[in-house]
Amino acid sequence: MESFTFPLDISELPSTLSPLLRTVQSFPVLPMLKPSSVPDGVAAVLVLLSALGYMTRGRMWDKPDPYYKVWFERPQLEDGASSSKGAITRNVAQRLEESDYQAVIFWGSQSGTAERFAETLGRECHTRFGINALVADISDYDAESIAELQEKHFAIFLLSTYGEGDPSDNAAGLWDWIKRIKGQATKLKSLRYLAFGLGNSNYKYYNRVLDVVVDALDAAGATPLMPPQRADDAEGATEEDFQSWKDDMFALLRGMGYEQKTVAYQPTVSVEFVEKVHSENDGPVHQVSVHHQQTSLNSAIFPLPVRNSRELFTAGDRNCIHTELDLGNSDLVYKTGDHIGVWPCNPDEEVERLLETLGLSGRRQDTITIAALDDSAKPKVPSGSTLEAALRHHLEICASVSRKTVFDLAQFAPTPEAETMLTRIGQDRTRYEQFTSSTHITLARLLQLSSPLEPWTALPLSFVVENLLSLQPRYYSISSSSVISPRRIALTALVVNKEVADENKSTIHGLTSNYLLSASKLPLNTKVATPTFQHTSTTGGEGGTVFAHVRKSKFKLPITSSTPLILIAAGTGFAPFRAFLAERAKLHALGKPVGRMLLFFGCRSPHSDYIYREELEKLQETLGDKLRIITAFSRDGNNKRVYVQDRVAEESETVLEMLSAGANMYICGKASMAREVDAKLEEAVAQQKGMKESEVKNWTDGLKKRGKWKADVWG
């Protein structure tokens, strides 16, 4: 090393750099660094400053915040609150002892249904039987402490199953503990429990979480107070299945010596009208859910203009729309394979019907305040909304009404005839199922049907808010590639309209699909009158604005573009594969290596609902022998119905060969279709490789764990 001075006149440099250059003029540098011009000198200064900044980061600047971790800690007490017992314990047995609880209701929930059931059950245990029950998010407590529960207590498990027989995210700790205690016969000898599972029989691993947990508890010596029961959402029976299980549980409690009381309605929220003078300067109507939270998986909700909508079906009386949501200058980003959650609003007809039956049409624009009267109550409507906004944007007024709600409504009936009708339906499951199978029953339609002449003026608004679910988003697989279309999200939606076999030949309209059709301003293919919706207008006049957020997905293309792909879809399940193929075609056009792709696509007919057919033909031209398309048509004018799983069975040798060569397989569509595809492939691998049932299971599980076999399916 040797030192030297820059052979530059400092006066030639900008005044801001002169002091810096004086500092480094005698700095030791390598002999080959001989700046001889002003740009070279400036470059040398910048290099030295960068090095200095790098070495002093964290000591002289950008120091870590010592309290940064607080942002990720879960608060267990209210701000400023204190307790003589210190922080709330994670030992559930200790919590029950300290707070004089008689039971604990654990919930494991992915979508919120099990959590809602647990809160309802906790309130009813207290009001009907005087049982003080702790309603507990399983993740709030150490699962190991369940083993310490005393025999005087009992536990209730409400557990959901989703995906490939997976537990909910908040039940991960319980799941790990259950696996550890399996076979320890005396581990839980003092535990008494009841269990109810939430699942869908269209999925391969229907209620697997409940089965695994119950088997492990029994094997470890726990005592079931009654056999476990299961909800089946395949036919939309979850609410009724829960009600039936709850009836059995209440009968059990009566048999255990608990006295059941007849309880008058006790609201958990107060809903009041308040005086408010409206002016032109009032802010926008509350349209965004109070429950949605931005997380690592879910973005915030944004208003997105609808652009470039078009009809995909070429014949028939159904609609299937392609529409694009413009991200504009918003912070919303997505990746190929993600989901878009669309937040609909309720149609004008149902809003008007409910206001009229409640006798509140004249108060639609009056402001309401909502306050929780119970610790477990969570407001579904933001306080300060108008009554109309609450019914239009925040509550599921188009959903069917549960049997319990039918029965509870009877006490507020405006006529003796209405009370008798609702009581009879609410008390008898068979009568309720017959009634709902032949009649489309929303809350407004039920009130109107039971009392066509008298409005329900005695029905408290708090009852309406409590018994209607919060309006939820509907998720769609994004059908555009973020590489090709980073500021436009495309979605593909089949517009659902289901006819009901009642005397009025009424129709159940899919809420969000009809909402999107309305926003797209496309003509209707159906002859049935469709609902009308309010939309915020956008510039350009192409369509309305919808509220939406992005949910991250693991349904992703492999990092290496040369990885072969097997894509299996029926109907709108093709949506994410449109994005996958477009992205691969772009890479191929740029000269990048692209793996072999085998696409199975099923629909009714090539002449009516073969969606994106022209696009697929162009992709075939672009990709050549890299893409092979195999179609299955279930209503193609002949007697034989061919489904996508049949084509997979016919091509099973090719599919298994590609999987053995490292291909990634993706299935998208209805869960029943995916289950059939699984069965066909498992049968094929058993025959072709001579595997036993256990070996086949290990083979499929291995592919799924390595991310080589992925499914994105629904109901």
Q: Which residues contact 706 (CB under 8 A, 6 or more apart)?
A: none
Provide φ and ψ at 447, rounded to 5°.
-60, -40
Q: Domain 565-714 class?
A: alpha beta
Q: What is the 3-state secondary structure (H, E, C) of 425-450?
A: HHHCHHHHHHHHHHCCCCHHHHHHHH
What is the reported pTM?
0.80
* Alpha carbon distance 268, 376 (integer Å): 8
Q: What single-letter DSSP state applies at residue 211?
A: H
Check if the beta carbon of residue 375 is closer than 8 Å to that of residue 510: no
What tokens were used for 712?
Answer: 């994105």
Q: Give the pLDDT of residue 29.
A: 44
Tokens of 111: 């979508």
Give mean pLDDT in consecutive 10-residue pieces for the chain, a chain of 715 residues: 42 46 47 57 68 61 46 37 54 94 94 90 92 94 94 96 86 92 79 95 90 94 95 87 93 94 87 73 64 88 94 90 95 96 96 97 95 81 92 94 93 96 93 86 94 96 93 95 97 88 75 94 83 75 85 95 97 97 96 96 93 96 96 84 95 96 96 93 93 92 93 86
Using CA atoms, how far apart are residues 627 and 584, in angstroms rounded to an integer? 10
Q: Say if residue 592 is exposed, middle or buried (CB neighbours under 10 Å; 0-12, 13-18, 19+).
A: exposed
Q: Does residue 406 contact residue 426 with C-beta atoms inside 8 Å?
A: yes
Residue 348 phi, psi dihedral angles, 5° rounding: -55, -40
How far apart are the C-alpha atoms of 521 and 316, rounded to whole Å? 19
**CA triple 616-622-625, angle to 5 deg:** 90
Locate CATH 3.40.50.80 in the chain: 565-714
- What span, in angstroms and rounded, lies between the C-alpha atoms of 215 and 211? 6
Amino acid code (one letter) for 470: S
What does DSSP assign to residue 471? P
Phi/psi of residue 566, nearest 5 degrees = -120, 115
| 3-state class (DSSP) for residue 358 | coil
As a whole number of angstroms, the distance between CA 508 and CA 430 comes to 22
Q: Which two tokens stand for residue 447?
A: 């009130």
DSSP H helices in 295-376: 348-357
**What span, in angstroms and rounded, lies between the C-alpha atoms of 303 and 625?**
42
What DSSP character marks residue 51?
H
- Hey, what CATH class is 102-255 in? alpha beta
The gap from C-alpha 346 to its chain's centroid, in whole angstroms, comes to: 19
Look at the block and give the residue holding tokens 């480094």: 24
Angle at 161 between CA 160 and CA 165, to 5 degrees: 160
Residue type, 328: G
SS3 annotation, 568-630: EEEHHHHHHHHHHHHHHHHHHHCCCCCCCEEEEEEECCCCCCCCCHHHHHHHHHHHHHHEEEE
CA atoms of 390 and 384, how far apart (whole Å) = 10
| C-beta separation of 570 from 644 below 8 A | yes
Strand partners, 57: 61
What is the number of other CB atoms lying within 10 angstroms of the CB of residue 83?
10
Residue 249 and residue 226 in contact, taking contact as beta carbons nearer than 8 Å: yes
In terms of Cα–Cα distance, which of 210, 204, 199 is closest to 234?
199
Question: Whole-angstrom Cα distance, residue 633 to residue 612?
Answer: 15
Chain centre to alpha carbon of residue 145: 30
- Cβ contacts of residue 80 below 8 Å, gap of 6+? none
pLDDT at position 181 is: 86
Rounded Cα distance between 541 and 309, Å, is 12
DSSP annotation string for 649-687: HHTHHHHHHHHHTT-EEEEEEEHHHHHHHHHHHHHHHHH
CA distance 222 to 214: 9
